[in-house]
């Protein structure tokens, strides 16, 4: 089943923001993975958030701290639409179509959590993240 959720990139304050949102909106933090708890640890960012999931009622918001120079975050342009698909083939087809006239910011590829993950900005300037989890993925959200 295909699902789309907003994904926010923070400048190192993801945990503080999610704790604030939790308190203000009676939300629940359903997951928070630090870079230090992943194969992507290093560069003094172990305490930063790689991926977090916040539930507000029936809505899921995902986020993480952007620590990679090749994927800079600018406040105001730091929200992506994250689309989850069931198969690598779905991810490849959608990604290729959405990339037409746009700009690929991270090629679709296998990662430690996904059989396919990639990012792009479509021809209308909207940021998209495509994710097809590996079976029994550790990063599954609600």
pLDDT digits (tens, 9 = 90+) for 97-112: 999 999 999 999 999 9
Residue range(s) occupied by CATH 3.30.720.100 in the chain? 1-80
Question: Using an 8 Å Cβ cutoff, are 126 and 4 in contact?
Answer: no
Report the pLDDT value the prediction gives residue 136, as an integer from 0 to 100.
66
* CATH number, span 85-137: 3.30.720.110
CATH 3.30.720.100 holds for 1-80: yes
Question: Using an 8 Å Cβ cutoff, are 42 and 68 in contact?
Answer: no
Percent share of the chain, pLDDT over 70: 92
Residue range(s) occupied by CATH 3.30.720.110 in the chain? 85-137
pLDDT at 140 over 70: no
Q: Is 32 left (phi over 0), alpha (psi -120 to 50) or beta?
A: beta
Percent share of the chain, pLDDT over 90: 61
pLDDT at 139 over 60: no
Rounded mean pLDDT of the chain? 88
| Segment 42-93, tens digit of pLDDT | 677 899 999 999 999 899 999 999 877 766 777 777 889 999 999 999 999 9
């Amino acid at each position: 089943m295909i699902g789309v959720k907003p994904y926010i990139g923070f400048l190192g304050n993801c945990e503080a923001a999610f704790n604030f949102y939790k308190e203000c909106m009676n939300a629940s933090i359903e997951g928070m993975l630090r870079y230090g708890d992943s194969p992507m640890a290093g560069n003094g960012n172990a305490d930063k958030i790689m991926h977090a999931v916040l539930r507000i009622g029936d809505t899921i918001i995902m986020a993480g701290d952007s620590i990679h120079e090749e994927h800079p975050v600018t406040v105001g342009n730091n929200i992506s639409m994250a689309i989850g698909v069931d198969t690598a083939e779905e991810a490849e087809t959608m990604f290729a179509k959405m990339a037409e006239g746009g700009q690929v910011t991270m090629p679709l590829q296998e990662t430690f959590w996904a059989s396919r993950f990639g990012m792009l900005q479509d021809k209308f300037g909207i940021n998209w993240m495509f994710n097809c989890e590996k079976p029994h993925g550790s990063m599954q959200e609600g």
